[in-house]
Amino acid sequence: MFFPQFRARRIRGSETFRRMVRETSLSVNDLVYPMFSAFGSGIRKEVSSMPGIFQQSIEHIVAEAKEVRDMGIPAVLLFGIPETKDAVGSDAYSDNGIIQETIRALKNEVQGLAVITDVCMCEYTDHGHCGIIKDGDVDNDSTLELLAREALSHAKAGADMVAPSDMMDGRVAAIREMLDENGYDSIPIMSYAVKYASGYYGPFREAAESTPQFGDRRSYQMDPANRLEALREAASDIEEGADIIMVKPGLPYLDIVRDLRNEYNMPLAVYNVSGEYSMIKGAAQRGWIDEERVVLETMTSFKRAGADIIITYHAKDVAGWLGRGKI
């Protein structure tokens, strides 16, 4: 049926009918809010390249987490900034590390909020890479043991879910085995299954103080030109025991999100990363775009591509707009 019998504008012309036939829905339940916990007290330092995002000491993390929970956002994703860093990232798996202490504070003081923890070494090593350095590169297998210890320490502290982001081969299996052997078989793993070596991570490296001191991360993060490799990486992590798989970054890789949605019947997350956030914020501050409209359009694109979960620094804004009946 074609024009003039069919007129698409009959539906589009009514806001009520537009809502009734909308194919993709966005909810506050889709959101995870990343937070940066810094060692010390009285710290609330805005990240210069990420307006509205802060490095915060634990008491401020707790206060903001209460706000997040009260807005209906179901979970936060924690990154840590330790007091000191060393070659083997000792604070990452210390029972008294910055993330472990933050988890305990959140679980004690912010009931009803799920705490997800990033499992990686880059924030804790003095060289800024995601594992143990041997012969100028990250040694995969010796790093696995430390990642597993880190995940276990998070579980012991009370984390609800762990999220390995390092991109070491075999890390999901190593973490799953460590958790299961120590009685934490109910702790799920959200794997950064498909993580590209991206230029969109720049602002995050300021926020997490995790810039590599030499080289880059291309030997362990994926080539942005590769598509089929994403299916292999996801298949490997699923086989090793991942409960949720993730694509990172988000907007430049919506085709990959859709590929994984089509291929796997698994919960699927997407990380709307720092560079994506900062570009929108920067353009909005200059009056070049309507921030609310562009952010909600971006979030909807993730859902339309097939994501179940959106990790985004926009989460609080989105929750506020949705609370006013937007989209």
Q: What is the pLDDT of residues 314-324, one digit of tens each?
A: 999 999 999 87
Of 247, 293, 291, 248, nearest in space to 51 by CA? 291
Cα separation, 166 vs 122, in Å, equals 8
Is 175 in contact with 148 (CB distance < 8 Å)? yes
Residue 128 has a pLDDT of: 75
- Residue 215 pLDDT greater than 60, yes or no: no
Q: One of 66, 85, 134, 248 is an active-site residue; which one?
A: 248
Q: Which DSSP state fits 253?
A: G
- Where are the domains positioned within the chain? 25-323
Of 268, 226, 229, 228, nearest in space to 250 by CA? 268
Is 154 in contact with 120 (CB distance < 8 Å)? no
- Residue 211 pLDDT greater than 80, yes or no: no
Residue 206 has a pLDDT of: 82
Q: Is the sign of the CA dihedral 51, 57, 60, 62 positive or negative?
A: positive
Residue 326 has a pLDDT of: 63
Structure confidence by residue, pLDDT tens digits, 79-132: 999 998 898 888 999 999 999 999 999 999 999 999 999 999 888 998 877 888
Residue 72 has a pLDDT of: 97
Structure confidence by residue, pLDDT tens digits, 128-157: 778 888 888 888 999 999 999 999 999 999
Amino acid letter, residue 246:
M
* DSSP character string of 52-73: T-EEE-HHHHHHHHHHHHHTT-
Phi then psi for 190, rounded to 5 degrees?
A: -100, 105
Q: One of 45, 66, 134, 195 is an active-site residue; which one?
A: 195
Residue 302 has a pLDDT of: 98
Is 7 in contact with 50 (CB distance < 8 Å)? no
Q: Is the sign of the CA dihedral 318, 321, 324, 327 positive or negative?
A: negative
- CATH no., domain 25-323: 3.20.20.70
Cis before residue 267, ω within 30 degrees of 0?
no
Residue 88 has a pLDDT of: 87
Cα separation, 208 vs 133, in Å, equals 20
- H runs (alpha helix) in the chain: 9-12, 15-20, 58-70, 98-109, 140-157, 171-181, 202-207, 228-240, 254-263, 274-285, 291-305, 315-323
Is 238 in contact with 209 (CB distance < 8 Å)? no
Is 161 in contact with 189 (CB distance < 8 Å)? yes
Residue 54 has a pLDDT of: 97
- Range 57-61 average pLDDT: 98
- Range 45-67 average pLDDT: 97
Cα separation, 281 vs 219, in Å, equals 31
Weakest mean pLDDT among 2-6, 73-77, 125-129: 125-129
Q: Please state, for a pLDDT cut of 90, what percent of the chain lies above it.
A: 83
Cα separation, 39 vs 15, in Å, equals 49
Cα separation, 121 vs 88, in Å, equals 8
Cα separation, 57 vs 71, in Å, equals 21
Q: Please state, for a pLDDT cut of 70, what percent of the chain lies above it.
A: 96
281 is catalytic: no
195 is catalytic: yes
Is 63 in contact with 42 (CB distance < 8 Å)? no
Of 295, 235, 241, nearest in space to 264 by CA? 235
